[in-house]
Amino acid sequence: MDALMESQILALWETGRDRGPIDRGLHALAVAMPGVDVASRPVGWRTLSLLRLRSATFGPRLAACADCPACGSAMAFDVDLAALLDALPEPPERAAQESAFDAHGAAWRLPNSRDQANAASAVDPGAALDLLLRACRLDARDDALLPRGAALDDIEARMEALDPAANIELSLRCADCAHEWTVVLDADACVWEDISACARGLLLDVHRLARAYGWTEPQVLALGPARRAVYLDLADRETTP
């Protein structure tokens, strides 16, 4: 996957500030993969595609942190995206045709990103789960009873087996108290945080060079990172007493 251009990063940051997390991820993929119906693909497809986009644009090393739930210590860690992507199997290309299965009196398909975005608007986790189940049940009336208990656990397990990238968990161990726990890797949030940080850095560069040389934003971005860094250094030298 090709890296995002700086102009695309700025546009994504500007249009994504008022979007929800899933919509931000989908919008980034729509820019990187024009013509692809990204919202209809399985959730794991979006996750893997976002991690590939993040690796291509910002590098394969993902710096992260988490607070230990036992002692509260903050722990920094790195994720090797290249190794992670190699370890995860590819999900089906389509949420319905290639992933349908029969279980507990109905046919089911994997949830896609559109289903997940709709469920995110629910008033509580239970309502969100019901929305997802109804969207993924293929041959039953909307008012038919939804699975609960062991039946629900079985359906969820079968979906996770078909699309393991939909829920990536990282195993962590606290350096202070040795407590072990898992955290979910949120690809939408990771990509947005990098886009936001990069966009703010680009805007700062534009601001400094516009003041120093009177250049416009397109002119600054057209310089490229290496030449831009030289001009920023020259501008700093002229302003340093």
The domain ranges of the chain are 1-91+163-241, 101-162
Average pLDDT over the chain reads 93
Q: Residue 97's pLDDT is what? A: 62
Please give the residue that has the higher pLDDT: either 89 or 98: 89
Distance CA 57, CA 2 (A): 8
Dihedral pair phi/psi, residue 21, rounded to 5°: -55, -45
Q: Is the pLDDT of residue 140 over 80?
A: no
Q: Residue 221's pLDDT is what? A: 94
Distance CA 104, CA 60 (A): 42
Share of the chain above pLDDT 90, in %: 87
The pairs formed by 93-97 with CB atoms below 8 angstroms and a separation of 24 or more are: 93/41, 93/45, 94/40, 94/41, 94/42, 95/40, 95/41, 95/42, 96/138
Distance CA 104, CA 187 (A): 32
Decide: helix, strand or coil at residue 241: coil
Which band of pLDDT confidence, cut at 50, 70 and 90, is reported for residue 230?
very high
